[in-house]
Amino acid sequence: MENSQLFKALCDVDSAPIVICNLEHTIVYMNPVAVERYKKRGGADLVGRSILDCHNEKSGRIIKRVVEWFLKSKDNNIIYTFDNKKENKEIFMIALRDDDGNLIGYYEKHEYRNKCEMKIYDGINTD
């Protein structure tokens, strides 16, 4: 199995929306949760379009500034962008880097603060 298949599988099972952009701000991937979440804005048809077209002018400027900050240092990899109290989550922009630490893209990460409702190892015999 190729690494790209593993990475896609990882993103596809995530319960949070994942929208990955390249340095030209083009949406190159959306996981199924993101496709559903942004369905009214175009869903899967957003792939190949600019993320800047999905935001107002001020947000677009901020996105560009964050990418500039990512480019300044290989240590600049995560920035806190929003506290969504309605959905009980925090949102971050995350730098994506190649093996040499060069910036190749970015994505928005949603961190939900809801307590897990699953039972530990439910359905698995742990003896």
pTM summary value: 0.88
d(CA 34, CA 37): 5
Residue 11, Cβ neighbours under 10 Å: how many?
19
Q: Tens of pLDDT along 103-124?
A: 999 999 999 998 888 888 888 8
Q: Tens of pLDDT along 13-72?
A: 999 999 999 999 999 999 999 999 999 999 999 999 999 999 999 999 999 999 999 999
The confidence band for 4, taking pLDDT boundaries of 50, 70 and 90, is: confident
Average pLDDT, the chain: 94
d(CA 40, CA 100): 38
The confidence band for 1, taking pLDDT boundaries of 50, 70 and 90, is: low
Residue ranges of domains in the chain: 3-112
Is the model's pLDDT at 2 over the cut of 90? no
Is the model's pLDDT at 78 over the cut of 70? yes
d(CA 121, CA 19): 30
Is the model's pLDDT at 100 over the cut of 90? yes
Domain 3-112 -> CATH class:
alpha beta
Q: Tens of pLDDT along 55-65?
A: 999 999 999 99
